[in-house]
Amino acid sequence: MGTTTKESAIELTRLEEESIDYFVSFVQMFGLPKSIGQIYGLLFVSPEALPMDSIQTRLGISKGSLSQGLSLLKDLGAVTSHSLEGDRREHYRADLQVSRITNHFFENRLEPRLQNGKSRLSLMMDLIDESLDGFDDSAEVRTRVAALQKWHKRGGSIIPMIVKWLKR
């Protein structure tokens, strides 16, 4: 019943499958790749740190996806790496503070993008007159961009509330 690849001899337990499915749906809400949820989900329920080759075998994902996923998870503070005595391989463990990880994502990934979007919308508004000079539809385009600015501002005001809630 577990997920395996042709080379894999290890089936995922039901707990691992459920954890993986949970975190895949969670990360996809944020537009992150499925592999990020798979990796974190497996590590979240693993009682011990796992080496990269074991994670790859268990999940059946490419080494490239795994490497990129682990790198992103480390950047987010969601995964830490450890060395084990007598084993040259790097081992990975999930950081179990999900609220800290989500908080880090909002503050370091989402907020900068919202700021960038704000600047771009402002520039778009400035460019309307220049680009659409003499067109009757310029007022319509200005209305559209203004509506988008309003939506963007509302969305941006929600982020600090979410971050505050997560810090509780």
Looking at the domain that runs over 14-94, which CATH code has it been given?
1.10.10.10
The single-letter DSSP state of residue 23 is H
pLDDT at 166: 65
Instruction: Please give the span between the terminal C-alpha atoms of the chain, in angstroms, as a whole number.
Output: 39
3-class DSSP assignment, residue 58: helix
Q: How far apart are CA 63 and CA 80, in angstroms?
A: 18
What pLDDT band is residue 25 in, cutting at 50, 70 and 90? very high
Half-sphere exposure of 76 (CA within 13 A, CB side): 27
Mean pLDDT, all residues of the chain: 84
pLDDT at 23: 93
Which strand ranges, in their side-by-side order, compose the sheet holding 50-51?
Answer: 50-51, 87-94, 79-84
Q: How far apart are CA 148 and CA 118, in angstroms?
A: 10
How confident is the model over 101-134, as pLDDT tens digits?
A: 677 777 777 778 788 888 899 899 888 877 766 6
pLDDT at 56: 95
What pLDDT band is residue 22 in, cutting at 50, 70 and 90? very high
- Helix or strand run (H / E) with residue 80: strand 79-84
**DSSP result, 70-91:** HHHHHHTTSEEEEEETTEEEEE
All structural domains of the chain with their residue ranges: 14-94, 98-166
3-class DSSP assignment, residue 116: helix
- CB 40 within 8 Å of CB 93: no
Does residue 81 surpass a pLDDT of 90?
yes
Contacts of 123 (CB under 8 A, 6+ apart): none
Whether the model pTM is above 0.85: no
